[in-house]
Amino acid sequence: MTPEFGDGTRVVHAFAGEAGDPFGAQPVFASAYHLGGQDYYGRAGNPTWRALESALGALEGGECVVFPSGMAAISTLLRTVLSTGDTLVIPSDGYFLTRKFVSEMDVTVREVPTAGPYPSLDGVKLVLLETPSNPGLDVCGIADLAERAHAAGALLAVDNTTATPLGQRPIELGADVVVASDTKAVAGHSDVLFGHVTLASPELAGRLRDARTLNGAIPGPFETWLALRGLGTLDLRLARQAENAAAIHALLKGRIEGLRWPGAPEDPAHPVAARQMRRFNGVLTFVLEDKAAVDEFLARSRLVSAATSFGGLHSTADRRAQFGDPVPEGLVRFSAGCEDTRDLVADVSQALGLD
């Protein structure tokens, strides 16, 4: 897809068919194929995978490999890149399951807050960033860290789940790898688990494909098609979600503690985020007094549901402490959905007793 086209055009036309083809790639369910063509066995390749990989790779500027979940994507990446005794840098305030996974690997792990400061990277094999971080929404400068990592002989990978492929393009900023859970905004309809890795190096992409075939972490064709279908409306959904997040931030500013949204000029993460993000999304956080206050908020709301994912059509709230994140008991990760802005603001206002 021509880079000059806008985001909406690029995601709608991410897969270009030919005369007589249906609009959009369709799920191919075969496990075995007549030999002699590109595909020969369902664990090694699938036309529906390639359609989504082509679309995501074009958006992110690299070669994409799809997986059945975000954790399958990131765990395959870590096992492929790292060997026994290697050193890995990860965010101390990032996704807690990533920290749990690497704690069980035979590698040296250095945990650094997303916002830094970052110590010397000498001897490091891989630096894994998560920016904006989940759930704290801190950011770090990708270009600067990419330069430092490469000078030290390390690879730089960026978990881009919160930003989305439209919100941030880490490979253009110098990163070697992008990893994401497409369960969230890319698929966007709360109906599929999915993930992907996009790589600047075709050689490393080939290694990940080989690892996917060997370990069997393969996505189903139907799930792949759902993610591809969701991608087509990402631009539209992201625009409404960001509009709603901005409105909720304006409602809560100065009235609720711990309010964070990198899209707000007054947010401490905004200066760096504004330099490297192309657009913002619908995820913000704030802190209520305790668990009971969160429960009351959810009970009073008519539009906000308790859920532990984000990036979907529906507005959701997740009290992250219940899942083991080292955050205050009342911290809420709020995912603004695609409801009418006026309705959502009114509902949140009354649910929090701000009327």
pLDDT in tens, the chain (355 residues): 556 799 999 999 887 777 888 888 899 999 999 999 999 999 999 999 999 999 999 999 999 999 999 999 999 999 999 999 999 999 999 999 999 999 999 999 999 999 999 999 999 999 999 999 999 999 999 999 999 999 999 999 999 999 999 999 999 999 999 999 999 999 999 999 999 999 999 999 999 999 999 999 999 999 999 999 999 999 999 999 999 999 999 999 999 999 999 999 999 999 999 999 999 999 999 999 999 999 999 999 999 999 999 999 999 999 999 998 999 999 999 999 999 999 999 999 999 999 8
DSSP state at residue 134: T
- Residue spans per domain, the chain: 7-231, 235-351
Q: What CA–CA distances, in Å, run from 249 to 7, 158, 170, 200, 296? A: 25, 26, 26, 36, 20
Catalytic, out of 86, 159, 176, 325: 159
Whether residue 155 contacts residue 127, with contact meaning beta carbons closer than 8 Å, is answered with yes
For the beta sheet containing 108-112, the strands, ordered from the edge strand earlier in sequence to the opposite edge, are: 63-67, 195-199, 177-181, 155-159, 126-130, 87-91, 108-112
* 248, 233, 66, 35: CA torsion to nearest 10: 170
CATH of domain 7-231: 3.40.640.10
CATH 3.90.1150.10 fits 235-351, yes or no: yes
The Cα–Cα gap between 22 and 24 comes to 6
Instruction: Based on the residue annotation, tell me whether 159 is a catalytic residue of this protein.
Output: yes
Q: Model's pTM, two decimal places?
A: 0.96
Domains 7-231 and 235-351 share a fold: no
Catalytic, out of 21, 43, 291, 302: 43
Instruction: Based on the residue annotation, tell me whether 95 is a catalytic residue of this protein.
Output: yes
Catalytic, out of 95, 148, 235, 240: 95
Question: What pLDDT sits at residue 24?
Answer: 81
- Residue environment code for 117-126, b if the CB has 16+ CB neighbours within 10 A, otherwise e: ebeebeebbb
Enumerate the β-bridge partners of residue 283: 335
Instruction: Based on the residue annotation, tell me whether 43 is a catalytic residue of this protein.
Output: yes
Here the tokens at position 265 are: 């000029």
Burial class (CB in 10 A: 0-12, 13-18, 19+), 286: buried
Enumerate the β-bridge partners of residue 195: 67, 181
